[in-house]
Structure 1
Amino acid sequence: MLTELSIQDFAIIDKISITFNDDLTVLTGETGAGKSIIIDAVQLLAGGRGSVEFVRHEAKKAEIEGLFSVEPNHAVFRIGLYYGIDIQEDGMVVLHRTITANGKSICRVNGKLVTLAILREFGKTLIDIHSQHETQSLMDPENHIDLLDLYDHQVIAKTKEEYTKLFQKLQKLKKRHKDLSENEQETAHRIDLLEFQLKELEQANLMPNEDEILEEERSQLANYERIYTGISDAYNALYGEQKGIEWLNIAQQALQDNREFDSFVGEKATELSNHFYLIEELSYDLRNYRETLQYNPERLNEIEARLNEISRLKKKYGQTVNDIIEYMGKIEEELEQLTNKESHLMKLTDQINETAKDAYLEAKQLHDSRQRAADSLINNIHEELNGLYLEKAEFSVLFDAIADHDAVDQLHKNGIDHVTFLISTNPGEPLKELNKVASGGELSRIMLALKKIFARHQGTTSVIFDEVDTGVSGRVAQAMAEKIYRISNESQVLCITHLPQVAAMADTHKLIEKVEKDNRTSTMVTELTLNQKVVELSRMITGTELTETAKEHAKELLELAAAYKF
């Protein structure tokens, strides 16, 4: 959820910091007070398009920062791992956006600089914003198939995973077939290049890890004098008259002579004896190794020449000798394929056909699961629409699926299906795509019904409704208020509203006001007490004039909301 939001020098906002709870928070206030500006700020935080127009007059930059807390298995951990951004086990994520007065946009996630595209990837998993004027993801037909898969995730996910593996395998096979089927001139040029490279690498006669072995030997020869002196000094300090080993021998003999009188002395005598023999053996190893050391300037020159040759090959074929050897194996395989192209093409064709048939069967099973999920979704949507007084509305899921199993070239990442949600809000009217529904009030209710169903599946931590209740009133307004509250049981909900019914349902009610200070206009946010809620609801019911009747109505709305929640 969005725990805290800080905004500075953004539009008419001077500096505010807002703390949010994990329930339903309603933001109300006069038109122009800055409610939608706060949502604009959140949208920018989620990767929306910025503009210098957002920077407060005479300010150098606008800054927005949001603190989010997420559950352990949230998708944001996977995204953070992919981009190398550390997200602690406590699940705290900080998004930061700066827009400068000269138009630069600076984005950070947990303090690390990121591109706007990366910020947007984080944002879409954390924030889901819905407004009256935007269709958003629920209204976009491109997203409908993913929403349907989410609706019955437990059944569909395994089949979809199996299909995805086969589809990816099929794509790789097709690419290999295409690459191998290039025209004769390109193939001939490719063969010439590969033969030249293979000949060069064969003449180099590289050995595994040769670069590492030679670099170690070069280091030894180049530092021969230091190594020889160091070993000699160590050996001479240990071995000889009045040297380390002799003194250790005296010490161990002193303990050995008295071990029978004291158990501690006996224990330490044994321990020191063991150390003595180990150090004596170590000194012999140093002496023997010193005797093997030889300075060979000719060998050093040979190594330098060989390493220069290897360095030249690394620039062309790989970062290490092992990489180069691996590349050599690949070009040998590719050469073999190109010189025996026809037989390989036949094998690839057989593999493609076999994989395509398997993929189609899996896609057909995926299609059948989606059909069953669609039937259940249609019933579920109708129940939600009935609760929003759209009982005459007709919802449907349109499948545009590949019917012919021979048309495997038409397989795509989602199988054989293209899915579109359709609706008709009036009897006798044809079914249309969701984003083509004309009435704003109807669109608000349809979106809310869909959001209610999909909220628990989409995994976003915060759902924001920006005046989605515009164009409705009366019993529909009350039904929408109840629906928004039920969504807040699945996700944190922030809602800007002009409807007293929705505001009464809030767990937390924040009032947005414009204030003047030093001849500048700023936005102020206040969390309302119960009595202040009554006053604000009364204002929303009657406008500027507060009456006792309006206050009684406001109290009644709050009591009804409390009873509904209970």
Structure 2
Amino acid sequence: MLSQLYINNIAVISEATIDLKPGLNVFTGETGAGKTILINAINAVLGERASKDSIRTGESKAVISALFEDISSEAAAALEQAGYPAEDGSVLITRELDISGKSTCKIDGRPATTGILKNISGHLINVHGQHDNQQLLSAQKHLSFIDSFGGLEQEVAQYKEVYQKYVSVKEKLENITTDEAQKAHRIDLLEYQINEIEAAQLVQGEEEQLKARRKMVKNSLNITQALGTCMALFEGEMEGGGLQEMFGSLVENISQAASYMEEAQPIAQRIEEISYEMEGFERDIRGLLEDFDCDPSELDAIERRLDTIYTLKKKYGSDIQEILNYRDNAWEELRSIENSDQQIKELEKQEQKLFSLAREKALHLSERRKQASQQFVFAVGEELAFLDMPSVQLSVMAKEKPLSADGMDDLELMIVTNVGEQAKSLAKIASGGELSRIMLSIKNVLADKDEIQTMIFDEVDTGVSGRAAQKIGKKLAQVAQNRQVICVTHLAQVASFGNNHLYISKESRNNRTYTTIVPLTREQRIRELARISAGENITPIALSHGEEMLKEAGN
């Protein structure tokens, strides 16, 4: 359950630590005090979208944290799978918003993403707000109610797996069985591309070698002159004698000095070793010069070859390897098209087999949905009768549709509000108060199908009053016997059933608005119920009525 909620710098809430208890927790307060902000803060910490505009004016960041204790095995498994094991059965989720628009999420102090928060929070808490009532107006959502109530999620997943395979094969078949003219055009194009690439006889690394050769040919004169000068220096064709002659004289003289001077011996030895290297240098340079054969006319052939490679690169890839890969893929596609008749036969068999299997599973799923629909309507009907709507009857209108991602069932919840009338669409005749109670009834029957320990209702009593409001309070109290319920309400009849009553108020100090959230004692609850019922002018009769409501609610 959600045991503590901490809010810092969210709208009019400067800082608040809210301790929540098992059972029914109710929030009441004056208009604009921050009841909606409270729900938005909970949604934010659970991974929903949070805007920087929600940060309190003048502050640079906001923080929201939620501590869950005694979490269910299902929630613990989801945390474990996400990499956040809840070793002590509790988990702390934190969301920090920055004025720059960035937000950070943490689970037990470790970084997380909003996607992870959403997945995990789905096992921790169920938030029902006013926008959820609009789900009743969407026929597409009705199917998920039936699947959830009937526990059909695994069967739906098995059907979807087969259906997706069927769609994949169907798409492949459609791609192969294209118009014959298009097929012929594609064959011509592929053959042209393959022939063009193969005619070039490309070799890996060829482009780099050609560029290096082009550089050498362009500078052949410079190379010949430089190597010739080197040989002239060695052979003494220039003034001052050759390097070999001078180095030989150097070796002779330093060796003579070393024969008389011990300190010169290491130098003489090193110079003698270098003299051998000089002989090697001369041979190597002579070999380069003798072997150098570069015809300037070769440059034209190199440029033409590079131009061919460049043209192919513009069409088929950024380098030779990509061009060759393109050719291989073209060959594969060409063979596929040429062998398409056989492939078509094989795919047609697969398509027929998968369609039959998908339809078989869809028919089974449809039958299970019919059974679940009857039980669902009955269960919701009992809830509605308790909520003072005995004449309201729900039914499920089922139509068969072509196979789709969710099966072959087109389901819509229908409603009869008065005896003797025909069933009509919820969207056409249900009032706001009726939608609230119908949605509460659906939430209650679906709640028994999961392990979520905390349910939040935001003004579920909208559009109702009197006896109906009292029944909603009783129903919430019943639900709270097996799980934690948090309810934001504006009706005293509902608030009176709370096990933990928290009051939200606001005040102005130094030209700023501050919101406080405090738990109420029994005496304070009586006064708050009187205020909700009678307004700010609280009379003894109103106080007496508030006390009576608490007694009737068992508080």
What TM-score results when the alignment is normalised by the length of structure 1?
Answer: 0.67
| Kept after mapping to 2: 8 A contact 1:85/1:112 | no
Kindly tell me: are residues 435 and 24 of structure 1, through their superposed partners in 2, closer, same or farther at Cα, counting changes over 3 Å? farther
Q: Deviations over 1:71-121 (max 9, x none)?
A: 1223x844874xx5434344544443333334x141414155555555444
Q: Deviations over 1:289-333 (max 9, x none)?
A: xxxxxxxxxxxxxxxxxxxxxxx99x979xxxxxx9xxxx99998
Q: Which residue of 2 aligns with 1:528?
A: 520
Where 1:26 maps in the other structure, the secondary structure is: strand
User: Partner amino acid for 1:151?
Assistant: F
| Kept after mapping to 2: 8 A contact 1:149/1:370 | yes
Of residues 497, 500, 506 in structure 1, which corresponds to 2:498? 506
1:341 aligns with 2:340: yes
Where 1:472 maps in the other structure, the secondary structure is: coil
User: Partner amino acid for 1:142?
Assistant: Q
- The structural deviation recorded for 1:11 is 0.8
For residues 478 and 191 of structure 2, the distance between their equivalents in structure 1, rounded to whole angstroms, comes to 66
Kindly tell me: are residues 469 and 73 of structure 1, through their superposed partners in 2, closer, same or farther at Cα, counting changes over 3 Å? same
Which aligned pairs between 1:38-437 and structure 2 lie closer than 5 A?
38-69=38-69, 70-74=71-75, 77-78=77-78, 81=81, 85-90=83-88, 92-102=90-100, 104-110=101-107, 111=109, 113=111, 116=114, 119-132=117-130, 134-135=132-133, 137=135, 140-153=138-151, 156-157=152-153, 159-181=155-177, 183-184=182-183, 185-186=185-186, 337-402=336-401, 410-427=402-419, 430-437=422-429
Q: RMSD of aligned C-alpha atoms?
A: 3.8
For residues 197 and 78 of structure 1, the distance between their equivalents in structure 2, rounded to whole angstroms, comes to 54
- The structural deviation recorded for 1:430 is 4.8
| Kept after mapping to 2: 8 A contact 1:478/1:502 | yes
| Matched pairs, number | 433
Q: Which residue of 1 aligns with 2:241?
A: none
| Kept after mapping to 2: 8 A contact 1:10/1:54 | yes
- The structural deviation recorded for 1:142 is 2.4
- Any unmatched runs of 5+ in structure 1? 205-311, 318-323, 403-409
For residues 461 and 138 of structure 1, the distance between their equivalents in structure 2, rounded to whole angstroms, comes to 24
Q: Which residue of 2 aligns with 1:207?
A: none
Kindly tell me: are residues 359 and 193 of structure 1, through their superposed partners in 2, closer, same or farther at Cα, counting changes over 3 Å? farther
User: Partner amino acid for 1:18?
Assistant: I
142-151 vs 436-445, which deviates more? Answer: 436-445
| Kept after mapping to 1: 8 A contact 2:79/2:86 | no
| Kept after mapping to 1: 8 A contact 2:74/2:451 | no
Q: Deviations over 1:324-371 (max 9, x none)?
A: 9xxxx9999877644422101111101111111121122111111111
1:480 aligns with 2:472: yes
Kindly tell me: are residues 430 and 97 of structure 1, through their superposed partners in 2, closer, same or farther at Cα, counting changes over 3 Å? farther
For residues 65 and 532 of structure 2, the distance between their equivalents in structure 1, rounded to whole angstroms, comes to 31
- Any unmatched runs of 5+ in structure 2? 205-317
User: Partner amino acid for 1:365?
Assistant: H
Q: Which residue of 1 aligns with 2:458?
A: 466
Where 1:377 maps in the other structure, the secondary structure is: helix
Q: Which residue of 2 aligns with 1:489?
A: 481
- The structural deviation recorded for 1:138 is 5.2
For residues 116 and 158 of structure 1, the distance between their equivalents in structure 2, rounded to whole angstroms, comes to 26
Kindly tell me: are residues 466 and 170 of structure 1, through their superposed partners in 2, closer, same or farther at Cα, counting changes over 3 Å? same
Where 1:400 maps in the other structure, the secondary structure is: strand
For residues 122 and 468 of structure 2, the distance between their equivalents in structure 1, rounded to whole angstroms, comes to 30
User: Partner amino acid for 1:98?
Assistant: E
Where 2:407 maps in the other structure, the secondary structure is: coil
For residues 3 and 197 of structure 2, the distance between their equivalents in structure 1, rounded to whole angstroms, comes to 59
Q: Which residue of 2 aligns with 1:268?
A: none
For residues 376 and 194 of structure 1, the distance between their equivalents in structure 2, rounded to whole angstroms, comes to 64
| Kept after mapping to 2: 8 A contact 1:5/1:67 | yes
Q: Which residue of 2 aligns with 1:456?
A: 448
For residues 475 and 353 of structure 1, the distance between their equivalents in structure 2, rounded to whole angstroms, comes to 58
Where 1:363 maps in the other structure, the secondary structure is: helix
Kindly tell me: are residues 424 and 114 of structure 1, through their superposed partners in 2, closer, same or farther at Cα, counting changes over 3 Å? farther
For residues 456 and 503 of structure 1, the distance between their equivalents in structure 2, rounded to whole angstroms, comes to 24
Q: Which residue of 1 aligns with 2:26?
A: 26
User: Partner amino acid for 1:128?
Assistant: N
For residues 396 and 15 of structure 2, the distance between their equivalents in structure 1, rounded to whole angstroms, comes to 47
| Kept after mapping to 1: 8 A contact 2:136/2:427 | no
For residues 121 and 148 of structure 1, the distance between their equivalents in structure 2, rounded to whole angstroms, comes to 22
User: Partner amino acid for 1:343?
Assistant: Q
For residues 54 and 499 of structure 1, the distance between their equivalents in structure 2, rounded to whole angstroms, comes to 27
Where 1:135 maps in the other structure, the secondary structure is: helix
- The structural deviation recorded for 1:171 is 2.5
For residues 487 and 138 of structure 1, the distance between their equivalents in structure 2, rounded to whole angstroms, comes to 21
Kindly tell me: are residues 191 and 483 of structure 1, through their superposed partners in 2, closer, same or farther at Cα, counting changes over 3 Å? farther
| Kept after mapping to 1: 8 A contact 2:11/2:55 | yes
What TM-score results when the alignment is normalised by the length of structure 2?
Answer: 0.68
Q: Deviations over 1:247-277 (max 9, x none)?
A: xxxxxxxxxxxxxxxxxxxxxxxxxxxxxxx
Q: Deviations over 1:499-541 (max 9, x none)?
A: 2221121111111121344443211111122332223223223
Q: Which residue of 1 aligns with 2:530?
A: 538
User: Partner amino acid for 2:57?
Assistant: H
Q: Which residue of 1 aligns with 2:553?
A: 561
For residues 195 and 446 of structure 2, the distance between their equivalents in structure 1, rounded to whole angstroms, comes to 58
For residues 332 and 360 of structure 2, the distance between their equivalents in structure 1, rounded to whole angstroms, comes to 32
For residues 88 and 539 of structure 1, the distance between their equivalents in structure 2, rounded to whole angstroms, comes to 43
Q: Report % sequence identity.
A: 32
